Structure 1
Amino acid sequence: MNIRRLENSVLTGVTVIAAMVWVFPLYWALVTSLRSESRVVARPGLLPDEFNIGNYADALFNTQLLTWYINSVGTAFIVTAVVIVISMMCAYALSQINFPGRRLLYLIVLASFMIPSQALVVTQFILMDQFGLINTWGGIILPQLIVPVTIIVYKQFFDSVPREMREAAVLDGGGDYAILFKLFLPLNWGITTALAIVTFIGVWNAFFWPFLVITSEDMMTIPVGITQVNDAFGLAYARLMSVALLAALPVVLAYLIFQRRVTEAVMISSGVKG
């Protein structure tokens, strides 16, 4: 019994330390963003000693932060919606419909999952240039629609659904689209929500590809726009921290709102529940 208590105490201590290590950069960014630039440079300290929201006002009104928000939200929502729908449909076909070349197609999906996205950057950039999509939302969105891992996750879930359910729906006269969206989709709302959140966060935080394909400041997304704030104002630490916190705010809110769904999805996919 004492050994069990000791183990629990050690695990609790390790968890607390890990949480503090993770939270400290966020705390430091918040404290820095609320200080004046002269205070940050002259005598930085760990404890909050100033409450200056001028940096946030500068970020909102003296940069194109709101435009970058619109670009990031728009592209992230479009990519998330398209990826979820096409991945679900593709996974349903691979899992539930017998057609020639199904196994070969699934092997191609698996192989594409193993190829690093950076290896496709040159080809994608040439294609976007030929299509005239450089410096457009289309140029940001199209290459990010390739998310094979979403197809794989959906297929694994669809494979676990009893065949009798689909057969009963077919006998009732249901087509594949009706079966997918009226039967299979309600069964996997948790997984769909989790995949949507992960995809949204990934697109929101994407830097490398938008940095390559966007050339004008009014088309930039949040991660790329932050670099322009740094270039425009030099090493303005307080202002830069305020922009970074404002940029991260939607992602944090999305996770806080949907964290229960994400937890349920992880439990379902791991076989603990259901």
Structure 2
Amino acid sequence: MAAITVDKVTQQPSPRGAIVAKQVGLYVAMTLFGLIMLGPFILAIFGAFKSSVEVNSYPPTLLPQIWHPENFVDVARLFPQFPRWFVNSIGLSATVTVLNVFFCALAGYAFARLNFPGRTVLFLAVLATLMIPLQVTLIPKFIILKQLGLIDTYPAVILPNISTAAGIFLMTQFMKAIPHELEEAAVIDGASKWTVFTRVVLPLSVPAMTTLAIFSFQGQWNDFLWPLVVLNDPTLFTLPLGIAGFSTEHIANTNWVLVGSIFTTLPMVFLVFFFQRYIIKSVATTGGK
């Protein structure tokens, strides 16, 4: 009877197990990174319920020893203009956002689709302004607005921000990715340049416009330096300006500042959370061009 030999087969690790281990490691890393990013916001929430002494004590503690929910009442009582500042921030941010998206979309369409002399040079000049710090242009802009009699008015805050180089660049790159055939079909049907822009290009550019709108709203919502320069009337203040007055040179009301910071941060968190898919789509499309 012939002998039957059985070769030992070395068992290879399961590919599925390796994939699962990789995914677990990725999720753990993302969770840790998320906690690190949320750390300051979590500290701000707990700090808003601490006393002024405890929030500035060392070593710091995470949870309040004694909870002080009356801090929110104190802010509303001692700073009755706080709701006005909140409304001012919403109004200014919304106005700047609408104008910025509109003008950046116009400029982006011109750079992406229209052929005119000096287009490349002008586009590079617009991008070059990204390298100019805001502080360099503060005095010239202030002088111009003062000569126009706009200091201490809302237009002084709005006008310098109705168009940005970053917004023009984003819209230009996104519109370059739109197929020319769609516009050519509209032109064959008798559409004008304006009709092509409003009926074809803009509807396809919703992801980019939404991304630009979020960034514009967030930038104006958190802007402190420029409103500080041009606004003197407390009734015109935005939230960052009003919150800055919670602490004086001799009194550090950090807990009140943290209360105001919560009201400043939450709208941005909800805004990004609900529109994050447009941001991802815009970045993916723009980066793939």
- TM-score, with normalisation over the residues of structure 1? 0.89
| Partner of residue 30, structure 2 | 15
Shift of the alpha carbon at 1:6?
6.0
- The Cα offsets for residues 59-114 of structure 1, whole Å up to 9 and x where unpaired, read as 23421211111211111111111111011111112222223332332232122233
Shift of the alpha carbon at 1:143?
1.4
Shift of the alpha carbon at 1:203?
0.9
> d(CA) in 2 for partners of 1:10 and 1:112?
42
| Partner of residue 161, structure 1 | 178
Q: Secondary structure at the match of 1:231?
A: coil
> d(CA) in 2 for partners of 1:90 and 1:30?
41
2:268 counterpart (242, 251, 257) = 251
1:232-247 equivalences in 2 (<5 Å)? 234-247=251-264
- Give the CA RMSD over aligned residues: 2.5
* Larger displacement relative to structure 2 (193-202 or 106-115): 106-115
Q: Do structure 1's residue 73 and structure 2's residue 90 form an aligned pair?
A: yes
Shift of the alpha carbon at 1:4?
6.2
| Partner of residue 263, structure 1 | 280
> d(CA) in 2 for partners of 1:224 and 1:28?
22
Q: Do structure 1's residue 173 and structure 2's residue 173 form an aligned pair?
A: no
Q: Do structure 1's residue 24 and structure 2's residue 52 form an aligned pair?
A: no
Fraction of identical pairs, as percent: 30
| Partner of residue 156, structure 2 | 139
1:58 counterpart (50, 74, 86) = 74
2:78 maps to a residue whose letter is: N
Quick one: structure 1 residues 215 and 14, their matched pair in 2 at CA, closer, same or farther if it must change by over 3 Å? same
> d(CA) in 2 for partners of 1:123 and 1:32?
40
* Larger displacement relative to structure 2 (40-49 or 23-32): 40-49
Q: Check conservation: 2:151, 2:231, Cα contact below 8 A.
A: yes
| Partner of residue 123, structure 1 | 140
**Max Rg structure:** 2
| Partner of residue 225, structure 1 | 242
> d(CA) in 2 for partners of 1:94 and 1:11?
40
* Larger displacement relative to structure 2 (55-64 or 36-45): 36-45
> d(CA) in 2 for partners of 1:127 and 1:235?
36
Q: Secondary structure at the match of 2:152?
A: coil
* Larger displacement relative to structure 2 (13-22 or 82-91): 13-22
> d(CA) in 2 for partners of 1:164 and 1:224?
49
Quick one: structure 1 residues 118 and 169, their matched pair in 2 at CA, closer, same or farther if it must change by over 3 Å? same
Q: Secondary structure at the match of 1:203?
A: helix
> d(CA) in 2 for partners of 1:148 and 1:216?
30
Quick one: structure 1 residues 213 and 110, their matched pair in 2 at CA, closer, same or farther if it must change by over 3 Å? same
2:113 maps to a residue whose letter is: Q
Shift of the alpha carbon at 1:51?
4.4
> d(CA) in 1 for partners of 2:73 and 2:119?
55
User: What runs of 5+ residues in structure 1 fail to find an aligned partner?
Assistant: none
Q: Do structure 1's residue 190 and structure 2's residue 204 form an aligned pair?
A: no
> d(CA) in 2 for partners of 1:245 and 1:203?
17
User: What runs of 5+ residues in structure 2 fail to find an aligned partner?
Assistant: 1-14
| Partner of residue 34, structure 1 | 49
* Larger displacement relative to structure 2 (226-235 or 18-27): 226-235
Shift of the alpha carbon at 1:223?
1.1
By relative contact order (CA 8 Å, sep 6+), the higher-ranking structure is 1
> d(CA) in 2 for partners of 1:50 and 1:180?
59
1:100 maps to a residue whose letter is: P
| Partner of residue 47, structure 1 | 63
Q: Secondary structure at the match of 1:243?
A: helix
Q: Which structure shows the bigger proportion of residues in helix conformation?
A: 1
Q: Check conservation: 2:207, 2:278, Cα contact below 8 A.
A: yes
Q: Secondary structure at the match of 1:100?
A: coil
1:204-223 equivalences in 2 (<5 Å)? 204-223=221-240
| Partner of residue 216, structure 2 | 199
Quick one: structure 1 residues 101 and 232, their matched pair in 2 at CA, closer, same or farther if it must change by over 3 Å? same
Shift of the alpha carbon at 1:137?
0.6
Q: Secondary structure at the match of 2:245?
A: helix
